[in-house]
Structure 1
């Protein structure tokens, strides 16, 4: 037992005399002071516009559909409600209110509008007729009774065609709906069968021929 203790002591002594590698000395320098620059956010071009970015500079979120009663600028819903909260507290009133989206004109509104192209007015006038008024017969007595029943004249002219531009492409209008929109197709030879339904406001450059 004594020899074991002496052996362990000698081993510990040898270990303690082994030179350890020197640790290089590194000078410590405190971090340099960082200058914080308060850069204002970039102003978006649609800031404060209806449907654009919120008028609050720190926000500028999209979808500004609330209008300020005094400035006329538009805010997002969150900022508008915050403005109203302070306005109610300080003045007992609300300053911001939501704007209802403007509905597109119904296609029937174009029929009697003299400012609209004649080809558009004729196409809509025909397509918005009751089906029975689109197909007069050879029996004028029957036609007269049908006109009296329908409250409108039978269509005796050739069926009108209508072409227009939509999203940079020439399209043919093949339908006018009671809901106010029209049906279009890129197949300029088609007389029926639309591939999309759009508002008349979304069309331009109307004509009775494809060109």
Structure 2
């Protein structure tokens, strides 16, 4: 009786194990495939390393991070648009054509100007060429408003870059109506109003004579 029951129970148990066996077999096959792919990838990597070493020859690795130099990308400085607009407006507003300059000019054979408190030796030395002319501005052909703006900008930049002596060519007025040097008196008015200007004199003949002024500037930064 007991012998008859065991075969029946044993067959029933094997049937129940078939799905488990199939799952185990599939898992083993997948594991074997993964291992094969890993071996294949390692083999390809080894071949690539050997090929690289054969192509470039012997190399020496970097000793450490401290010896590396990293270059940071520098962004361009922002353009100070508002400051430029403000400076341009100040330039136009600060130089008046109605400024009375006659009381400030030294009346001699050649009109000259020196800031109050400056001695006569300043204009004398300036007229004799004690300071060499470092830059010049030619206002020929400019309208009054253009000349005023150009002169203000020229003086400002000359002072900012540390120049001491410059020449301003305003012309002799030979091409003006009535042959009157229109810009000459205006340039004198404008220069007297510039805080960067210490003195100015009429240029020597070799530097333009009555058609130009030599201007001494306050010492600025270089």
User: Into which bin does the TM-score normalised by the smaller protein fall?
Assistant: under 0.3
- Structure number with higher helix proportion: 2
Point out which structure has higher relative CO (alpha carbons under 8 A, 6+ apart): 2
* Bigger Rg over Cα: 2
